[in-house]
Structure 1
Amino acid sequence: MKDKRTGITSKAKIVFRSLQYRNYRLFFSGQSISLIGTWMQRIALPWLVYHMTGSAFLLGVVGFAGQIPTFLLAPFAGVLTDRWSRYKVLLVTQILSMIQAGVLAWLSIAGLLDIWHIV
């Protein structure tokens, strides 16, 4: 059923109800932009490795090595976020991700990027 005032169905109101809160909108939009960048990087890095080397083996190594930090740090991440401010943890991790992406971009543009930088 549509709301006579807004023309929006009641299901759509329920789905987007959380967007009425400013802080959630900021979090949602920031995380959306961050995740788009993360997935672009996850697609581009293996492609770049294959383009640089032509080696399917190194392509697999980069894919595997990209998961190692998750395997090693995930058990401790929950404890950290419980003990520290979630806001500060999120801010620090996003800043570190931005720095890492910026350094890789700079190395690539400058022509200094080597395989060990990516792995």
Structure 2
Amino acid sequence: MPISFDNLHLQIMPLEDFPLKWRFNDEKYDRLPDIHLEQLQPLKKEASNFVWNFVITSGLTEALPFKKDFFKTIDQLKMELHDEKDIKKWLYHRGLPFEKKVILSWQPDEAMIVP
């Protein structure tokens, strides 16, 4: 079955096998609580590559922060100036439900689904 956004959730690897796991579970980098670590869903290389190729071929990142007219509205928040409560409130006011999954992509073979 070809990888798609509909079946991406089936392409999960254990966090221990994820090359960037240290960003989340290393004490030196403000380790996340276990309850949050359990919610992280690192994608296998093939699925990560699917996400990377989608971003590249869509032209999403042709300009900073995103391709002109790709989105109707672009809102920004300087995270370092706000605490977690402020950030949650900001996301909520943009219509992003807390249970909505987000895909993070670092490199062609490194991506993750996060809550």
TM-score (norm 1): 0.27
More strand by share: 2
Bigger radius of gyration among the two? 1
More helix by share: 1
Structure with greater contact order relative to length (CA < 8 Å, sep ≥ 6): 2
TM-score (norm 2): 0.28
